[in-house]
Structure 1
Amino acid sequence: MTNKTSQLIYGSSFAVATFLLSSPSLAATGAQQPCIGNSAAITGPAAFSGQAIRTGAEIAIEEINQRGGVLGEELRLIQYDDAGAPPRAVDNTRRIALADNCIAILGGYHSTAAVAQVEPVHAIGIPYIGVWAANTSVVENGRDPNFMFRVSAKDKWVARFLVEEALKVSPTGKIAFFYENTGWGNGALPDVNAAMSEAGAALVAAETFNWNDQDMTPQVMRARDAGAEVVIVWALDREGNQLLRSMDRVGYMPTMIGAWGISGNLGELAGPLANGVRVMQTYSFMGQQSELGESVLAKLKADYGIDDPREIRAGSGIANAYDAVHILADAIEIAGSYDWEAVRQALYDVERDGLITSYRPAFDASDPERQDALLPEHYLLTAWHDGVLIPFAGSPYDTGD
C-alpha cells in the first residue's frame, strides 16, 4: 500500500547529519515541521517490526489528518532504516531532528539501538517516544529533563510479569534464564534477578548466547541438569528457534515463557516445537475487540491486505505505535506549538482513551518510572499455537494454573 502520510527512506544520512551537528547555527534556525521520524528495522531478520510500527503510525496519522491534522496542518511520517544497528540509529536520530526538523522521534524494535539514541536525543533536545524497545535504561536514564518517553513494555516490569507467570507453573520454583548477549539481553539479567529475589526465589541457571548461534546444547544441558522446569527467554525469533531445537535434541522440554522478542515468526521457524511457548504482549487483534479495536482491524483489512487477524504479525507493535502517535498529536495541540520543549512538557498533560488502554494520564512528571505509558497491568500473556500467536486465556494450554 502507498500511503500519502508516510515516506520510507532506506539510505544512510551520515554525511548530512554530521554536517548539521557540526553547524549549530543551521540546526538552531530550523523550524520544527509537522512530521514524525522513525528509525526502525526495515531490513534484516526483524524487518517485520519496522513495518508494524509504520502501519500503526500510518493508521493513526490518517485519522488525525481526517480531523484536520495538528495545529491545522497535515501530519506525516518519515521512516528510516537502521537494520537494528546502533550507529545507524544515531545517524537517523540526527537526520530526523536536524535535517527533517520533525516534531518527535518514534523508537524502533532493538534496545541496543534505543540505548544508543539516548545521548543524541538529549544533546539535541527532541522528544522520543519508544514504541517497542523495552530496555529499562532507555527511559530510566537519569536525565533531567528527560526527553525519552515510551508507549511500550519496560523490561523491569516485564521481568516481574514473566517471573510471576513462571512461578505459577513451576512446581518447585526452579527457573532458568536464557538471554541474548546484547544490550537488551544483558540489561534484562539484573531485572530478572531482582524479580526472582522479590518473589523469594533465585534462578537455578542463567545462560547467554549470541545472535546467529546455531547450537545451544551446552546451555540447555546445564539448565536441564540444574532441574529447571521453566525457562524464561530474552531472545529474538531466530535464536528462540535454535533454543527450541537444541532442547528437542536432548529431550528437554520445559515450559518456555518469553519476552516479546519471540513474537514475530517463531511459530513459522520452529513449527510444532513452538506450540505452547508463552509470550508477553501489550495487545492482540485476536479475540473480542473494543469498538476502537474493531475500527483499527477494519483498516488493516481494507488498506493492508489483511484477510484474517491470524495474519497480523507484531500486533503489539502496531497498537503501540497507533496509541503513541495519537498521544503525541494531543500533546502538540495542548502545547499549541511544534516546539520540542513545549511538546515534551505537554506530553505529561495528555489524557485519552487509546487502543490498548485509557491513559489517565499518559505520563507523570512526578514519577521517574512513569516515562512509560503502559503499566504491568496492561501486559497480555499469549501463546504460540500452530503458527499463530493467540491469547493464552482460553487457549489449549490454559489449564487454570
Structure 2
Amino acid sequence: MPPQSILRSQLLAAAVALGLSTGLSIPAALADQEPCIGNSAAVTGPAAFSGQAIKMGAEIAIEEINAAGGVLGKKLRLVQYDDAGAPPRGVDNTRRIALADKCIAVLGGFHSTVALAQVDPVHEIGIPYMGVWAANTKAIENGRDPNFMFRVSAKDKWVARFLVDEALKVSKTGKVAFFYENTGWGNGALPDVKAALAARGKELVAAETFNWNDQDMSPQVIRARDAGADVAIIWSLDREANQILRSMDKASWKPAIVGAWGISGNLGELAGPLANGVRVMQTYSFLTPQSEAGKKLLAAVEAKTGIKDPKDIKAPSGIANSYDAVYVLADAIKIAGSFDWKKVQQALYQVSRDGLVAPYKPAFDKADPERQDAILPQYYLLTVWHDGKLIPLKGSPYDK
C-alpha cells in the first residue's frame, strides 16, 4: 500500500476511534467545547526558547481576543505540545491536535525539518496549518491545491535575497561563502542563496555544510578563507554558529557575517565577544519605536516574564509572529462564520488587517503560490549581536 494510503487509513482509524462518524473533513471544535488552536513546537531541548516564545505570543493574543468577546461567541484556548525539534513528534502532534483535540488550526514551530514532515498529515487531514517560525520555502510552496499550509513568518527564498543584498553591501570583494546545516532547512536554503546571488551576477566562492552538534568547523572555515571570501552567510542554529565563530577565530579569519534567524537565540551567550557584529535577519524587535499594539504586547510580555529591559526578551520575532498569526486565524473564523477547517482555510484568503509585524492586506493571495506567506520581505528587519544582546542594526555601533 502506498505511504499516503497507509497514512489515510491510519487517520480514518483514528477518527473512528475518536467517535467521529465522518471521514477526514472533520469540523474543528465539533463538540460543544471551547474551540482551540494547537501548537507543536520545541519547548524542551536547545531551541526551547523558540517554543516558549511562540506559546507566549499565542497566549497573549488569545487572552486579548477572549477579553473582547472571543470568536463566534466562544472563547479560544491554546493546546501546546512539545516536538523537541523531532519530525516524528511533530507529525504525531499534528494528528493529536486535529483528531483528538479537534482544534481549528495547527501553529507551527521553530524547526523546518518538522514543518516539512507536517505537510503530508496536514493535507491528509485537511486542517489549516499556520507557520510562525520555520522558514523553509517548500514547506509552504508545496504544490498542493488546495494548500492548507500558511505562514506568518519569514520565507527562506525571500530571506536569501535579503541576506545576499546585505552581504554584498558589506563585502569589499563580492566574494561570499555560505555555511549551512545538513538538514531540510539548510539544504533547502542552498538553491535559494545561489539564485539570489545569480540575480546579482555573482556566485558562491565556497559552500560548506556541517551536521548538528559538530564541534570543529576548521576544515570548512579554512576552505572558505582560502577561497578569498570576505563575507559569510550562516544558515544554522546558535550552537553550530558558535563553533563556526570559534573556528574562524582559530584560523585568524574575520569575515563580515550575516545570518538567518537560527542564530538569534543565544549566540551572544555562547560565543561571547566573538558574536559582536554578527548581523541577523528578524521580523520584529521590541527595541524599535513601538506602535500602540507593540506597547501593549510588550507590557503583557513583561507582566508574564518579569523582564523589565526589552533587550532581555528572547525571540521577539517568535512572540510577535505567533501573536499576529492568532489574530489572522481569528479573523478567518469570523469571516467563515464557522470553525470548520475547509471554511476557515478558504476564509484565510479574505483576511485583511493591520498587524503588529506588518500590514496583511490581504494576508494571503490564492492566485499566487508565493503568497501563502503573509510577511513580505520589505518588513524584514536587520539586527546585530552586541555584548550578548540582539539589537537593531540601525543606530548600533555597527551601523556604518
Structure 2 residue ranges without an equivalent (≥5): 1-7, 30-34
Q: TM-score, with normalisation over the residues of structure 1?
A: 0.94
Kept in 1: contact 2:284–2:317 (CA 8 A): yes
Offset of residue 274 of structure 1: 0.2
| Corresponding residue number in structure 2 for 1:32 | 28
Q: Matched residues in 2 for 1:304 and 1:359: separation? A: 29
| Corresponding residue number in structure 2 for 1:379 | 380
Offset of residue 303 of structure 1: 2.4
SS at match of 2:301: helix
Q: Matched residues in 2 for 1:54 and 1:360: separation? A: 25
Q: Which moved more, 1:207-216 or 1:299-308?
A: 299-308
| Corresponding residue number in structure 2 for 1:232 | 233
In the superposition, relative to structure 1, how do residues 19 and 186 fare at CA in structure 2: closer, same or farther (>3 Å)? closer
1:61 maps to amino acid:
I
| Corresponding residue number in structure 1 for 2:105 | 104
**1:2-401 → structure 2 map (5 Å cutoff):** 21-25=12-16, 26-27=19-20, 29=22, 31-33=27-29, 34-399=35-400
In the superposition, relative to structure 1, how do residues 28 and 294 fare at CA in structure 2: closer, same or farther (>3 Å)? farther
Kept in 1: contact 2:14–2:99 (CA 8 A): no
Q: Matched residues in 1 for 2:275 and 2:371: separation? A: 34
Structure 1 residue ranges without an equivalent (≥5): 1-16
Kept in 2: contact 1:21–1:27 (CA 8 A): no
1:240 maps to amino acid:
A
Offset of residue 27 of structure 1: 4.5
Deviations along 1:161-194, one digit per CA (max 9) or x if unpaired, are 0000000111110000000000000000000000
SS at match of 1:102: coil
Deviations along 1:91-144, one digit per CA (max 9) or x if unpaired, are 000000000000000000000000000000000000000000000001100000
Q: Matched residues in 1 for 2:252 and 2:141: separation? A: 41
2:108 maps to amino acid:
G
Q: Matched residues in 1 for 2:363 and 2:43: separation? A: 28
SS at match of 1:22: helix
Q: TM-score, with normalisation over the residues of structure 2?
A: 0.94
2:209 maps to amino acid:
T
Offset of residue 19 of structure 1: 6.5
Offset of residue 304 of structure 1: 2.2
1:197 maps to amino acid:
A
SS at match of 1:231: strand
Q: Matched residues in 1 for 2:12 and 2:121: separation? A: 10
Kept in 2: contact 1:257–1:278 (CA 8 A): yes
SS at match of 2:293: helix
Deviations along 1:239-279, one digit per CA (max 9) or x if unpaired, are 01010000001110101100000000000000000000000
1:22 maps to amino acid:
A
Offset of residue 22 of structure 1: 2.1
Deviations along 1:290-336, one digit per CA (max 9) or x if unpaired, are 11111110111122212110110000000000000000000000000
- The sequence identity of aligned pairs, in percent, is 74
Deviations along 1:57-90, one digit per CA (max 9) or x if unpaired, are 0010000000111111110000100000000000
Kept in 1: contact 2:132–2:153 (CA 8 A): yes
Offset of residue 36 of structure 1: 0.4
SS at match of 1:286: coil
Supply the RMSD in Å over aligned alpha carbons: 1.3
Q: Matched residues in 1 for 2:283 and 2:248: separation? A: 28
Q: Matched residues in 2 for 1:237 and 1:192: separation? A: 20
Deviations along 1:316-366, one digit per CA (max 9) or x if unpaired, are 000000000000000000000000000000001011111111111101111
In the superposition, relative to structure 1, how do residues 170 and 161 fare at CA in structure 2: closer, same or farther (>3 Å)? same
Offset of residue 32 of structure 1: 1.7
Kept in 1: contact 2:239–2:267 (CA 8 A): yes
Q: Matched residues in 2 for 1:28 and 1:341: separation? A: 17
